[in-house]
Amino acid sequence: MKDAAKITLQALGTFAVLATALPLLDAPQWYVRVFDYPRMQLLVLALLVFVLYLWLGTRHRKRDKLLLVSLAAAIVYQTFQIYPYTRPAANQVKRADVDAPTDSRLSILVANVLMENESYGELIRLTQEKEPDILLLLESDSAWQLGMQPATQEYPYRVEVPLSNTYGMHLYSKLPLRQQKVSYLLDDDIPSIKTFVQLRNGMWVELHNVHPKPPVPTEDPNSRKRDAEIVLVARDIESSQYPVVVAGDFNDVAWSRTTKLFQEVSGLLDPRIGRGFYNTFNAKYPVLRWPLDHIFHSDHFKLVRIERLRNIDSDHFPIYIELSFAPENEYEQEEPKADDTTQEEATETIQEGKQEAIEEK
């Protein structure tokens, strides 16, 4: 029995070490990039195996020592990766003043609805409770456009892109919009939205909404186009003269190299840093959850609140954020910056994604 337990622990420990090491490879294949996601799960697995192996294992053999050292390295590395998204870490976005004027605030609710989900009432009630200024629906088709009318009739400004391929996108706003533009950056059937929204104090804010394909066998065999689309949005934002907000399902986790590259090139801040993971996917499997739905913003804003909302019968939890426009305090927050090496990496990422799109056509 003890030997069987040791063999099982050796197998699990080896998996945890390899799954930790694979994402270090500069490889876009889905079976490599998929291990960007479960860092917390891999940390728990490595820690559990390490403790049990110390208890059960023979520590005098070279292979036992090698496994323990490898597990220790995996534990340290995974901890380093996820630490910024824990409460002991410093906040990247400062808390807004309690007396911040209401006319400088912007609230956004992002919901990946799961196209085949028909529980429209769940999201309708949630929208009516939160009353966000901006409602962003992802994976929304014409059925969702119709089903959400009891809530969306309160939103006079809108950009509706109903699609039956799980990449539909609907943007509803109580605040004025201008220059609404739907783009298909790399795929002819994967839209993104760029527009400008006017706050109640008159300030215009640049707003981007994205939902690239994930690197999974059923969608895309590698991450090249996803990564390129994310970085293309960052490059567009880089030269913006406006306050900026980006919201959507990146199909990428907050701690991945691509998302970090996005932040460095765009200069946008992540309000989750120092506050928590806010895991939005997968709502159906509590053990397998990570942050896929993101809201980033420029240093013109401070945070009023951020919440992961209740289940709406989708495979994603909705996420809600309320920001306060505070440009006089923008230099209190240190924005990420891209050096020459990072810019070269961004250019290469975009070129590889565009080449992948051309080859597919």
- What pLDDT sits at residue 330? 61
pLDDT tens by residue, 188-212: 999 999 999 999 999 999 999 999 9
Residue 1 confidence (pLDDT) above 70: no
pLDDT at residue 319 is higher than 80: yes
Residue whose entry in the numeric block shows the structure tokens 């976005």:
93
pLDDT class for 61, splitting at 50, 70, 90?
A: confident
CATH topology of domain 102-350: Deoxyribonuclease I; Chain A (3.60.10)
First CA to last CA distance, the chain: 56
In whole angstroms, what is the distance from residue 107 CA to residue 105 CA?
7
- State the pLDDT at residue 6: 85
Query: What's the pLDDT score for residue 233?
Result: 97
**Does pLDDT of 35 surpass 90?**
yes
Say what the pLDDT of residue 322 is.
98
Could you give the CA distance from residue 16 to residue 35 in angstroms, rounded to a whole number?
10
The pLDDT assigned to 169 comes to: 98
List the alpha helices (DSSP H) in the chain. 2-21, 30-33, 39-56, 62-82, 120-130, 142-147, 149-152, 224-238, 257-266, 340-360
pLDDT value at residue 286: 94
**54 falls in which pLDDT band (50, 70, 90)?**
confident
Q: What is the pLDDT of residue 99?
A: 85
Sheet of strand 204-210, all strands in order from the earlier edge strand to the far edge: 177-183, 192-198, 204-210, 244-249, 293-297
pLDDT attached to residue 59 = 63
Question: How far apart are the C-alpha atoms of 173 and 175, rounded to whole Å?
Answer: 5
Contact partners, residue 144, CB within 8 Å, separation at least 6: 113, 115, 120, 137, 162, 168, 170
Structure confidence at residue 311 as a pLDDT band (50, 70, 90) = very high
User: Mean pLDDT of all residues in the chain?
Assistant: 95
Q: What is the mean pLDDT of residues 33-50?
A: 96
Angstrom distance (rounded) from CA 181 to CA 142: 19
Alpha-carbon distances of 249 from 115, 135, 305, rounded to whole Å: 14, 14, 19
Residue 325 to residue 101: CA distance in whole angstroms: 9
Percent of the chain with pLDDT over 70: 98
Predicted TM-score of the model (pTM): 0.94
Q: Is the pLDDT of residue 21 over 70?
A: yes
73: left (phi over 0), alpha (psi -120 to 50) or beta: alpha
**Rounded average pLDDT over 270-290:** 96
Q: Exposed/middle/buried for 79, CB within 10 Å: 0-12, 13-18, 19+?
A: middle
Would you list the domain boundaries of the chain? 2-85, 102-350
* pLDDT one-digit tens code per residue, 93-137: 999 988 889 999 999 999 999 999 999 999 999 999 999 999 999
- Distance, in Å, from the CA atom of 205 to the CA atom of 202, rounded to the nearest integer, reads 10
For residue 360, name the pLDDT band (cuts at 50, 70, 90).
Answer: confident
